[in-house]
């Protein structure tokens, strides 16, 4: 019988932001298993108040340097909803392109810099040997795919992070014909690299089955911006009703809030999207990855990595279609039809469903706001998975180092973003702890 006592209190590596493991095992039983988001408390839901609505999206883009354009886009959607702004057809296409550029770049960052080193038994991405042909190809593919996503983001949003072109009511600048043509060339040139990426993660033997509920914003065709929130359990939730269905959970040892749905944890992200909407992907993507897509729906958490690779191909194919069939022209920003109101933005950020809510007064300033990020929604799932993984490993008498590595690999499969998740404020009032 395994009767070891073991304690782990360590930082997680190769993730965006700071997180900690706190694990205690006594006489072979897990007595404590905590996944804490330790990124310093950030009060952006408070900082929103009093700001001009037109400036709000660029402010909230600073929540994260990784998925900034997701917050930018979602905040714009919320502000436009509050002010009765209906964006032009071209603006909608450019919002889609902003998300495609973001997902290509962001998924490549996670897959190559955070996930692949685990698969090859390396500590870091730069430990790959450029003199080895196979590893040299991996290095080349990583930078090529990321560069293509960056370039698309630059010509559409103005920058690959913290884009300046998207505004409430439209875009300040549109791409030139030369930029559009170059983006098409860059995207088409990396398609073979993306297919190699899909193959790498399809052939991975990493496995951890997780029977959980999957939720995502789903539309037909596949979209990061449109649709309704659905689950594999048959839930159908309108964007405006999201707060009636997501249950806020205070996690005292974490600087982020957790969430449940109908009293249970759930998962958001690429795996949820592909599980729920693989049939709505771009036709060329579906034809190319016909065999790969047969693996979905999947309960293997590591297939979140594979789902991200699939999404890179979809984003590439969809972006090329739009760029080839659109002649971009400069348009004036659409003016508000209301002076005040409450608006909701719901999009699929790279790591899952992102919610922004904003209330704007007649002076055009923000009265209050609400933001729910993907990692907060996945936080309880991650912690429950950690506990179950420990229980399966204990009979093997693992060392602390091997246990930590396996836990980190599992956490990284969720691709958590701690910078986004850490934002709520705790106040101690006469011995009580309140979350604001």
Phi, psi (degrees; rounded to nearest 5) at 347: -135, 170
Asked if 310 and 289 touch (Cβ cutoff 8 Å), the reply is yes
The predicted pLDDT at position 9 comes to: 60
What spatial distance separates the first Cα and last Cα of the chain, rounded to whole Å? 46
- State the Cα–Cα distance between residues 7 and 16, nearest whole angstrom: 24
The predicted pLDDT at position 428 comes to: 31
The residues that bridge with 353 in the sheet, in sequence order, are 348
Structure tokens at 379: 């936080």
Question: Which CATH code for domain 44-388?
Answer: 1.10.645.10
- Going from the C-alpha of 100 to that of each of 214, 225, 317, the distances in angstroms are 22, 11, 10
- State the Cα–Cα distance between residues 153 and 313, nearest whole angstrom: 16
Asked if 336 and 54 touch (Cβ cutoff 8 Å), the reply is no
The residues that bridge with 260 in the sheet, in sequence order, are 247
Structure tokens at 23: 């694990």
Q: What is the pTM of this model?
A: 0.91
The residues that bridge with 236 in the sheet, in sequence order, are 230
Can you give the residue ranges of every domain in the chain? 6-39+389-435, 44-388
- State the Cα–Cα distance between residues 102 and 95, nearest whole angstrom: 11
Classify residue 162 by its DSSP letter: S
- State the Cα–Cα distance between residues 345 and 240, nearest whole angstrom: 9
Asked if 400 and 393 touch (Cβ cutoff 8 Å), the reply is no
Structure tokens at 169: 């009511």
Three-class SS state of 44 = helix
Residue 3 has pLDDT above 80, yes or no: no
- State the Cα–Cα distance between residues 53 and 342, nearest whole angstrom: 11
Helices (H), 203-282: 270-277
The predicted pLDDT at position 43 comes to: 67
- Under the banding of pLDDT at 50, 70 and 90, the label for residue 422 is very low
**What value, to the nearest 5°, has the Cα angle with vertex 140 and ends 136 and 144?**
175
CA 32, chain centre distance (Å): 28
- Under the banding of pLDDT at 50, 70 and 90, the label for residue 91 is very high
Where is average pLDDT lowest: 21-25, 176-180, 230-234, 357-361? 21-25
* Closest among 31, 18, 102 to 67, alpha carbons compared: 102
Residue 433 has pLDDT above 70, yes or no: no
- Going from the C-alpha of 160 to that of each of 101, 155, 170, 251, 357, the distances in angstroms are 8, 9, 18, 33, 24
Residue 426 has pLDDT above 50, yes or no: no
Asked if 82 and 339 touch (Cβ cutoff 8 Å), the reply is no
**CB neighbour list of residue 193: distance below 8 Å, 6 or more residues apart:** 140, 141, 144, 145
* Closest among 301, 307, 317 to 276, alpha carbons compared: 307
Residue 136 has pLDDT above 80, yes or no: yes
- State the Cα–Cα distance between residues 179 and 375, nearest whole angstrom: 34
- Under the banding of pLDDT at 50, 70 and 90, the label for residue 39 is low
The predicted pLDDT at position 144 comes to: 97
- Under the banding of pLDDT at 50, 70 and 90, the label for residue 36 is confident
């Amino acid at each position: 019988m395994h009767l070891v006592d073991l304690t782990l209190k360590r930082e997680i590596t190769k993730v965006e932001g700071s997180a900690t493991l706190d694990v205690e095992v006594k006489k072979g039983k897990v007595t404590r298993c905590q996944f804490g988001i330790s990124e310093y408390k950030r009060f952006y839901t408070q900082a929103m108040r009093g700001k001009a609505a037109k400036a709000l999206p660029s402010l909230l883009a600073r929540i994260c340097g990784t998925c900034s354009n997701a917050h930018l886009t979602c905040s714009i959607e919320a502000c436009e909803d509050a002010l009765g702004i209906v964006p032009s057809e071209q603006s909608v296409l450019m919002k889609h392109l902003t998300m495609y550029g973001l997902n290509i770049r962001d998924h490549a960052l996670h897959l190559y810099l955070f996930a692949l080193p685990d698969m090859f038994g390396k500590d870091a991405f730069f430990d790959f040997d450029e003199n080895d042909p196979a590893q040299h190809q991996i290095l080349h593919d990583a930078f090529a795919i990321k560069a293509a996503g960056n370039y698309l983001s630059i010509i559409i949003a103005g920058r690959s992070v913290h884009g300046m072109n998207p505004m409430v009511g439209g875009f300040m600048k549109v791409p030139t014909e030369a930029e559009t043509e170059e983006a098409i060339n860059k995207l088409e040139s990396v398609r073979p690299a993306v297919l190699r990426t899909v193959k790498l993660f399809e052939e991975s033997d990493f496995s951890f089955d997780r029977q959980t509920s999957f939720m995502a914003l789903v539309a037909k065709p596949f979209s990061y911006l449109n649709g309704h929130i659905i689950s594999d359990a048959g839930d159908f939730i309108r964007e405006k009703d999201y707060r009636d269905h997501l249950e806020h959970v205070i996690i005292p040892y974490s600087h982020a809030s957790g969430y449940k749905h109908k009293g249970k944890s759930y998962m958001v992200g690429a795996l949820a999207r592909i599980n729920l909407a693989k049939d709505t992907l771009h036709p060329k993507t579906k034809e190319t990855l016909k065999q790969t897509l047969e693996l979905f729906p999947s309960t293997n958490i590591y297939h979140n990595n594979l789902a991200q690779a699939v999404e890179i191909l979809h984003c590439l194919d969809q972006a090329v279609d739009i760029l080839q069939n659109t002649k971009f022209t400069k348009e004036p920003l659409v003016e508000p039809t209301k002076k005040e109101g409450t608006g909701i933005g719901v999009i699929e950020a790279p790591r899952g469903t992102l919610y922004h809510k904003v209330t704007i007064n007649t002076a055009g300033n923000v009265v209050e706001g609400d933001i729910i990020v993907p990692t907060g929604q996945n936080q309880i799932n991650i912690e429950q998975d950690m506990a179950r993984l420990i229980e399966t490993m204990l009979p093997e008498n693992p060392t602390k180092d091997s246990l930590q590595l396996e836990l980190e690999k599992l956490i990284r499969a969720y691709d958590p973003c701690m910078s986004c998740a850490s934002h709520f404020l705790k106040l101690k009032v006469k011995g009580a702890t309140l979350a604001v």
